[in-house]
Amino acid sequence: MVFSSKNIKAMNKSVDAALDAISQEYTLIPEDPSNYKEITVYNIFNFDVQQYSVEDVGNLSVMKVNMGFMQMATLILTPIDKNLPLVSADYMYQFGKRTSYLEFYDCVPDLNDEAYQSLLSELSAVKEKYSELEDTTPTPAWYDSLKTVGFYKVGKAKDDPTLDQMLCDGFKTVLTTSKELPTLSEEEKDNKRKLCKEYSDGLISNGGISTDVFKEQLGEDTTRDFFDKVLFGTENYGK
């Protein structure tokens, strides 16, 4: 219980820091997740869900869960209006151990765009900035070919400030670059939305750790509805 209480505070601090960093770059507009504001699995664990629109960028979702033995926060930025990668962060707290994943996915209509490639170089530089943190290797997955840059770190409670800054730096790098990019045309936005939905649909059809839990507990149709409306929010942009 002592670890759980401390880890909840650390998790909330990490999420708040990321939201503050994002709001410094763009206006965050809270959205109503409706029936998905709280999702209960196994009749024990409650996932608390927040959703935002990032003005002129796309959808942002935040999901937190306290499992007692482990606490986890997930943040997903799904850009629709700009040629930006999809950003997914998973921060896990297990007693005194930390495992932090920060991933960027090539869900973009133009991989060879010069500005996009420049952004990837900037993200690689940010990754190098945190090279002193211990690396870990993620489990191979079907979506590995979509991942362009990934930060995979493990640490201890004393590393929380550094891991929090890594999360903020990743989001801020993407959003700072976003300001310099033109808004996509309606056709390009539709293509971008479809690419992001292909990824979220792929999680449902091919599997993912959290996705498999949701499918088992909510059913495939409800999980897809949650993904489309809230977690990735692709349903809210174009058709």
Domains defined along the chain, listed by start: 2-185 (3.40.1500.20)
The residue written with tokens 């091919």 in the block is 206
In Å, how far are 82, 138, 181 from 177, measured between CA atoms? 10, 27, 7
In Å, how far are 37, 86, 108, 177, 232 from 223, measured between CA atoms? 13, 19, 24, 32, 11
Residue 194: its pLDDT value, please? 96
Kindly tell me the burial class for residue 232, based on how many C-beta atoms sit within 10 Å of its own C-beta (0-12, 13-18, 19 or more).
buried
Residue 238: its pLDDT value, please? 59
Percent of the residues in the chain that have a pLDDT greater than 90, as a whole number: 92
At 81-136, the pLDDT tens digits run 999 999 999 999 999 999 999 999 999 998 999 999 999 999 999 999 999 999 99
Using the predicted structure, report yes or no on whether residue 148 has a pLDDT greater than 60: yes
* Cα 35 to Cα 47: distance, rounded to the nearest angstrom: 12
Instruction: Specify the range with the lowest mean pLDDT, choosing from 26-30, 116-120, 233-237.
Output: 233-237
Q: Which long-range contacts (CB under 8 A, 24 or more apart) does 208-211 make?
A: 208/141, 208/143, 210/74
Quote the pTM value: 0.96
Residue 207: its pLDDT value, please? 86
Residue 173: its pLDDT value, please? 97
